[in-house]
């Protein structure tokens, strides 16, 4: 596999790059614009690998994408580059449409021209769009889980932009015959997640003695998947997924937000006890997110049946490993929580 990973300096992208290199990829080229969410330190573990190359640039730059496909003789694309934080999409939707929709259009067009110029590559070429379960909207407590045939009903600007991108990908397969794949995954957690998302934000705030903000009543449910399991699923889809198909990926680990935050507090109480009291005392209920989806849950049986994938880490083990990783990587947290991060936190949680 000679692959272009866009968004490879972000949370999932950097974990995927390490996974692909550890599992025999011939060439891994990362294209990342290094927005506030992208960090070259996330790629430090692979930077000495001669099969790896980093290019700073945007997926909106179609000429650059085309040049990379051509000069590196790539046969695979995994598009992870995106604006990914729901709260930011509520404050400023424009960047989400620009990067997630127009950026995907440019990626698809670059891939289409490249494959048309190299007919011998046509059957082998794969374009994977890494999407989200949020495109399906929200579930009531007793609804069946989302699966590949669930109709799209996005509720946030972020989810709508990801849904728009997925529709483009589908059309480029149907109309132009591009060998596309789409994955719709549930909430990830693990190393290198930017501390604007619930789990690393709570860890960071807990250790800094700050409030642990719970939106609304904290009874919203997410289906948590360790990023390492997500990367294994993506690798299986790239290797054996059928062109034009969609695969739902989930952790089979539904938890309310309050349960997740309570678990983190208990783990910190064990591994980094305070002088007095529990981290649970820092929990603070705050104003709810507008349009907040109540429950996400994924039925990943297609992936198990067709590609033999299922998650290998329990949430209990994965969250403890993650807490320990953040405790061991205080330098990383300090480096990524720069001025821009502090500005976001001050504005959003004011």
Which residues are marked as active site?
133-134, 158
- Nearest one of 162, 58, 42, 161 to 107, comparing CA atoms: 58
Q: Which of 30, 78, 82, 298 binds ligand NAD (CB under 6 A)?
A: 82
Question: How far, rounded to the nearest angstrom, does the alpha carbon of residue 337 sit from its chain's CA centroid?
Answer: 19
Q: How far apart are CA 268 and CA 261, in angstroms?
A: 11
Q: How far apart are CA 1 and CA 25, in angstroms?
A: 5
Judged by beta carbon distances under 5 to 8 A according to partner kind, the member of ligand DAU, ligand NAD, none in contact with residue 309 is: none
Angle (CA) 272 10 194, round 5°: 35
Q: How far apart, in Å, are the Cα atoms of 187 and each of 37, 134, 222?
A: 17, 9, 7
> Would you state the structure tokens that stand for residue 24, as one six-digit string?
């025999």
Smallest distance, ligand DAU to C-beta of residue 307, A: 20
- Nearest one of 223, 12, 197, 193 to 87, comparing CA atoms: 197
Count interface residues toward ligand DAU (CB under 6 A).
19
Smallest distance, ligand NAD to C-beta of residue 99, A: 4
Does position 322 interact with ligand NAD (CB under 6 A)? The reply is no
- Span from 2-10, 128-136, 235-243, 334-342 in contact with ligand DAU (CB under 6 A): 128-136
Pairing assessment for the beta strands 76-79 and 126-132 based on DSSP bridges: parallel
Q: Which of 3, 5, 9, 74 binds ligand NAD (CB under 6 A)?
A: 9
Does position 101 interact with ligand NAD (CB under 6 A)? The reply is no
Does position 232 interact with ligand DAU (CB under 6 A)? The reply is no
Smallest distance, ligand NAD to C-beta of residue 348, A: 15
Q: Which of 60, 101, 207, 286 binds ligand NAD (CB under 6 A)?
A: 60
Does position 150 interact with ligand NAD (CB under 6 A)? The reply is no
> Would you state the structure tokens that stand for residue 298, as one six-digit string?
């994924």
**Which is nearer to ligand DAU, 107 or 110 (by Cβ)?**
107
Scanning the chain, the segments in alpha helix (DSSP H) are: 11-22, 62-71, 86-91, 94-96, 103-117, 157-176, 198-207, 227-240, 257-271, 301-307, 315-328, 330-336, 339-348
Name, in order, each residue with C-beta under 8 angstroms of 118's C-beta and a sequence gap of 6 or more.
none
- Nearest one of 9, 19, 103 to 56, comparing CA atoms: 9
Q: Which of 6, 104, 138, 322 binds ligand NAD (CB under 6 A)?
A: 6
Does position 35 interact with ligand NAD (CB under 6 A)? The reply is yes
Q: Which of 20, 30, 168, 185 binds ligand NAD (CB under 6 A)?
A: 185
**Which is nearer to ligand DAU, 75 or 196 (by Cβ)?**
196
Judged by beta carbon distances under 5 to 8 A according to partner kind, the member of ligand NAD, ligand DAU, none in contact with residue 11 is: ligand NAD
Contact residues for ligand DAU, defined by CB under 6 A: 84-86, 132-134, 186-187, 197-198, 201, 213-215, 220, 222, 257, 289, 296
Residues that bind ligand NAD (CB under 6 A): 6-7, 9-13, 31-35, 37-38, 58-60, 80-82, 84, 99, 103, 130, 132, 162, 185, 187-188, 194
């Amino acid at each position: 596999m000679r692959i272009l990973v866009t968004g490879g300096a972000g949370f999932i992208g950097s974990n995927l790059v390490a996974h692909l290199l550890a599992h025999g990829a011939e060439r891994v080229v990362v294209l990342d614009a290094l927005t506030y969410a992208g960090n070259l330190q996330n790629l430090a573990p692979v930077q000495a690998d001669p099969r790896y190359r980093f290019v700073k640039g945007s997926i909106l730059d179609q000429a650059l994408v085309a040049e990379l496909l051509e000069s590196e003789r790539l046969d695979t694309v995994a598009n992870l580059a995106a604006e990914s934080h729901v709260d930011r999409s509520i404050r400023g939707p424009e960047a989400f449409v620009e990067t997630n929709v127009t950026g995907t259009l440019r990626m698809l067009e670059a891939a289409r021209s490249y494959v048309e110029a190299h007919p011998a590559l046509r059957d082998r070429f794969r374009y994977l769009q890494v999407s989200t379960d949020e495109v399906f909207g929200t579930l009531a407590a007793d609804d069946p889980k989302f699966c590949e045939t669930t109709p799209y009903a996005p509720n946030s600007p972020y989810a709508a932009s990801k849904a728009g991108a997925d529709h483009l990908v589908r059309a480029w397969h149907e109309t132009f015959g591009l060998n596309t794949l789409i994955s719709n995954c549930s909430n990830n957690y693990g190393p290198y997640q930017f501390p604007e998302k619930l789990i690393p934000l709570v860890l960071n705030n807990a250790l800094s003695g700050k409030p642990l903000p719970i939106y609304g009543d904290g009874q919203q449910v997410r289906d948590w998947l360790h990023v390492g399991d997500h990367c294994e699923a993506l690798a299986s889809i790239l290797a054996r997924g059928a062109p034009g198909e969609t695969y739902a990926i989930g952790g089979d680990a539904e938890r309310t937000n309050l349960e997740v935050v309570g678990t983190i507090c208990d783990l910190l109480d064990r591994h980094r006890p305070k002088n007095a009291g529990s981290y649970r005392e820092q929990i603070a209920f705050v104003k709810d997110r507008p349009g907040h989806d109540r429950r996400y849950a994924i039925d990943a049986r297609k992936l198990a049946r067709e590609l033999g994938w299922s998650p290998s880490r329990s949430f209990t083990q994965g969250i403890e490993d993650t807490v320990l990783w953040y405790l061991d990587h205080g330098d990383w947290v300090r480096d990524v929580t720069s001025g821009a991060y502090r500005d976001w936190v001050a504005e959003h949680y004011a």
